[in-house]
Amino acid sequence: MTKLNRLAASLIAITFAGFMPPAQAETDKLSVVASFSIIGDFAKQVGGDRIELRTLVGPDSDAHVYEPKPADAIALARADVVLVNGLLFEGFLQRLVEASGTSATIATLTEGADILHDPNGGHYHYSGGQAIFHAAPNDPHAWQSVANAKVYVQNIARAFCEADKNGCLTYEANAATYVGELADLDVEVKQAIDAIPAERRVAVVAHNAFRYFERDYGMTFLSPQGVSTESEASAADVASLIREIREKRAAAVFAENIADARLVEQIASEAGLTLGGTLYSDALSPEDGPSPTYVDLMRHNVNTLGKAINGG
């Protein structure tokens, strides 16, 4: 280690005095940082009370526009394990890792998952009335497939075992129990979607985060494409989506918890459809919301789809 690095390391060590409230002082638990709320839930399921967890991008928040805080860098510096989605989902991560100088293991949870290449090279987010293109050659929203979620969980168990050998049996047992729950959930989602008549399984969303759901469960999701990144969805772009909605006879339009609903409201009104509710795409809800855990999230989405489509 160079002199400068040593100096930097010792400086990180004293940073508690600065930004961290004393209540969060170090414990003998495994210190885990999860990049966003869904991974945070997986970490809780596997780690239980053996871990001390900090989740960076919280409930109802969009990781794509997240701006890391100095306290995040300090948390990363202290962490034993950092859990990330990968596939360019966390655009802020690399600089944060560099800023923190962390020596923690960084576990990429989509490793080994069944990943979809994105033919469009990315997808759009709608934030503050603006379309922002999120370029990613592979679709990062892999957790929308429950089969992939199982891979996330197994990757977490492996990362925890490596960092905390004494807890390994506990982590593996917790993961096995949870993977069992996920297997049931997978069946439940499939059955719920199968119960929707095949020709009605077309929904409209603003941000195409559901391609894995589409692949695994046979729903179709339409979303605006080719919207300029510099302006709101232009009239022409929306018009072509409206045509597609009519051709494919989409049943309902859905808002998303991480985005404002103005764009989908515009689409719904032009297509003569009603808003069918809110789907949870890239984040859980707060504790008192409908989707505080991943299992709740998938159930909520399936129920919302089913109700809006069958009811309408």
Q: Which span (7-15, 37-45, 161-169, 174-182) binds other proteins, by CB under 8 A?
A: 7-15
Q: Two tokens at 29?
A: 């638990």
Taking CB under 8 A as the rule, does residue 98 contact other proteins? yes
Q: Which span (25-33, 52-60, 61-69, 149-157) binds other proteins, by CB under 8 A?
A: 61-69
Q: Two tokens at 93?
A: 């991560």
Residues facing residue 252 across a β-bridge:
203
The C-alpha atoms of residue 210 and residue 222 are separated, in whole angstroms, by 10
CB of 19 to other proteins, least distance (A): 5
Between residues 12 and 192, which has the closer beta carbon with respect to other proteins? Answer: 12
Q: State the residue for tokens 């560099």.
A: 98
Determine the angle formed by the axes of helices 146-163 and 37-47, rounding to 10 degrees: 60
Taking CB under 8 A as the rule, does residue 12 contact other proteins? yes
From the number of C-beta atoms within 10 Å of its C-beta (0-12, 13-18, 19+), residue 200 rates as middle
Taking CB under 8 A as the rule, does residue 115 contact other proteins? no
Residues facing residue 182 across a β-bridge:
none
Taking CB under 8 A as the rule, does residue 247 contact other proteins? no
**What character string, x for contact with other proteins (CB under 8 A) and - otherwise, covers 136-175?**
xx--------------------------------------
Between residues 98 and 162, which has the closer beta carbon with respect to other proteins? Answer: 98
Q: Two tokens at 167?
A: 């807890």
Among 29, 50, 88, 265, binds other proteins (CB under 8 A): 88
Taking CB under 8 A as the rule, does residue 25 contact other proteins? no
Taking CB under 8 A as the rule, does residue 288 contact other proteins? no
Among 147, 179, 192, 226, binds other proteins (CB under 8 A): 226
- Nearest of 262, 304, 264 to residue 280 by alpha carbon: 304
Whether residue 222 contacts residue 243, with contact meaning beta carbons closer than 8 Å, is answered with no
Task: Tell me how far the alpha carbon of residue 37 is from its chain's centroid.
Answer: 7
Helix (H/G/I), strand (E/B), else coil: 177: helix
Between residues 22 and 272, which has the closer beta carbon with respect to other proteins? Answer: 22
Task: Tell me how far the alpha carbon of residue 170 is from its chain's centroid.
Answer: 26
CB of 130 to other proteins, least distance (A): 8
Between residues 136 and 271, which has the closer beta carbon with respect to other proteins? Answer: 136
Among 54, 78, 125, 134, binds other proteins (CB under 8 A): 134
Number of residues written out for the chain: 312
Taking CB under 8 A as the rule, does residue 58 contact other proteins? no
Give the strand order in the sheet containing 30-36: 51-57, 30-36, 81-84, 105-108
Taking CB under 8 A as the rule, does residue 106 contact other proteins? no
- Nearest of 126, 87, 132, 156 to residue 263 by alpha carbon: 126
Whether residue 95 contacts residue 40, with contact meaning beta carbons closer than 8 Å, is answered with no
From the number of C-beta atoms within 10 Å of its C-beta (0-12, 13-18, 19+), residue 289 rates as middle
Taking CB under 8 A as the rule, does residue 122 contact other proteins? yes
Taking CB under 8 A as the rule, does residue 1 contact other proteins? no
Q: Which span (15-23, 216-224, 267-275, 302-310) binds other proteins, by CB under 8 A?
A: 15-23
Identity of the amino acid at 268: A
Q: Which span (88-96, 197-205, 246-254, 296-304) binds other proteins, by CB under 8 A?
A: 88-96
Which residues would be at the binding site for other proteins (CB under 8 A)?
4, 7-8, 11-12, 14-15, 18-19, 21, 65, 67-74, 77, 88, 92, 95-96, 98-100, 119-122, 128-130, 133-137, 225-226, 230, 240, 260, 262
